[in-house]
Amino acid sequence: MVGTTLAEIRRHIEDLASDDGEYVLVCGRTGDRPVPAETARFEDRGTAIAAAQATEQYRAALRRYDPRLPYYDLIVCQDNGPLHRPRDVDGNGESAVRAASAPERAQSADAPDHRLLVEFCHRVAAAVFETLSEKGYDDVESTVMDAYFDLAETVADPDDLCLRLLESMAAELDERLSPTEQADVLADAATRYVPVESAVDPVASTMSALRDRGLLADYACEPTATDRPDRSRSVAVDVTDYALSPRNGRLPVLPVVFELFRRRPDWPLSRVRVVGREDRWHVTLELASDADPDGLASAPIRSET
């Protein structure tokens, strides 16, 4: 499957990278750092150009899954400090790859929040696809891809389509993998995304990140509750205007769990419970080291008690 190729290309880019390198890859139009080289630095310009070519190969392979994946005009920049947006680049940029048609350029010029939303969805999908293939879940991988192609024929808006992709992915993981397998896939996939520092309050950090990317409008965390007998904990959050829609009585929570695993991979997240309220979702995240996981890709919607 394509995911195996994705993993091989990613490892090749990692081999080219250098921790103290001065050269990075960016999109010359948007300033975005491209998956899978978003955190990589390279020792010299020639190595960075080779990495840019490999990055474009990676994105071309991923595009077999997702034809709407944004196209980037990759350039190599010498980065001696904070990375600037393209309008601030002082002339050190060198064109490495050019691969965007006029309609695709227009799509990349969306408002920043829309662009962040689309790119986040694609990055999460890429990480999950890659993990599914490496772990041998080819049937799940193919089913998600087929469902996405069906959606692409009827959904024209790129923002809406990327959200539908995550909804389909969450539904297929929930239906075809056991809860333990879901936890394993999502925890592994989270390691393939841009690393972040462990958060003191990972739930608030996760919700803030999802809000900034347009996955929700606002949130309010309640104090952490602890069950003394088994030392389990739960954190409740009220989420307003969540962008993903329920399916068959379940709410896709894949991006929430994915982001939590990024911030605290050591958290024993065991269950996600969801209650629908008038204008928001009440989401409870349960943590218990000795409990079987449940509802991590798509959580059942329960009635208010």
- Structural tokens at position 263: 């911030």
pLDDT of residue 122: 82
Write the CA distances from 216 to 168, 175, 213, 242, integer angstroms. Answer: 18, 25, 8, 4
pLDDT of residue 93: 41
Name the one residue in this structure whose structure tokens are 């979702």.
281
Cis peptide before 36 (omega within 30 of 0): yes
Query: Amino acid letter at 226?
Result: T
Given a cut of 90, is residue 242 above it in pLDDT?
Answer: yes
Given a cut of 70, is residue 255 above it in pLDDT?
Answer: yes
Residue among 267, 262, 277 at smallest CA distance from 235: 267
Full-model pTM: 0.71
Query: Amino acid letter at 21?
Result: G
% of the chain beyond a pLDDT of 70: 82
DSSP letter for each residue of 254-298: HHHHHHHHHH-TT--EEEEEEEE-SSEEEEEEEE-TTSPPBSSSE
Given a cut of 90, is residue 231 above it in pLDDT?
Answer: no
- Structural tokens at position 175: 């239906």
Query: Amino acid letter at 211?
Result: R
* Cα separation, 51 vs 42, whole angstroms: 8
Q: Which of the pair, 133 or 292, is modelled with greater confidence? A: 133
Those residues whose C-beta lies under 8 Å from the C-beta of residue 205, and which sit 6 or more positions away, are 199, 263
Cα–Cα–Cα angle for 259, 250, 295, rounded to 5 degrees: 50
**For the chain, what is the mean pLDDT?**
81
The DSSP bridge pattern shows strands 298-302 and 218-221 to be: unpaired
Residues comprising the chain, all counted: 305
8 A C-beta contact, residue 203 and residue 223: no
* Cα separation, 89 vs 10, whole angstroms: 27
pLDDT of residue 103: 32
Burial of 165 (0-12, 13-18, 19+ CB in 10 A): buried
| Residue spans of beta strands (DSSP E) within the chain | 23-27, 74-78, 94-95, 218-221, 225-227, 232-240, 250-252, 269-276, 280-287, 298-302
pLDDT of residue 207: 96
pLDDT of residue 264: 86
- Give CA torsion, residues 19, 24, 25, 30, to 10 deg: 120
Q: What's the alpha-carbon Rg for the chain, to the nearest Å? A: 20
pLDDT digits (tens, 9 = 90+) for 29-76: 888 888 888 889 999 999 999 999 999 988 887 777 666 677 889 999
* Cα separation, 45 vs 192, whole angstroms: 25
pLDDT of residue 186: 95
The DSSP bridge pattern shows strands 298-302 and 269-276 to be: parallel
Write the CA distances from 118 to 28, 132, 188, 215, integer angstroms. Answer: 18, 21, 22, 10
Q: Which of the pair, 205 or 5, is modelled with greater confidence? A: 205
pLDDT of residue 143: 87
8 A C-beta contact, residue 250 and residue 200: no
* Cα separation, 82 vs 86, whole angstroms: 12
Domains of the chain: which residue ranges? 1-104, 110-305
pLDDT digits (tens, 9 = 90+) for 160-211: 888 988 999 999 999 999 999 999 999 999 998 877 887 788 899 999 999 9
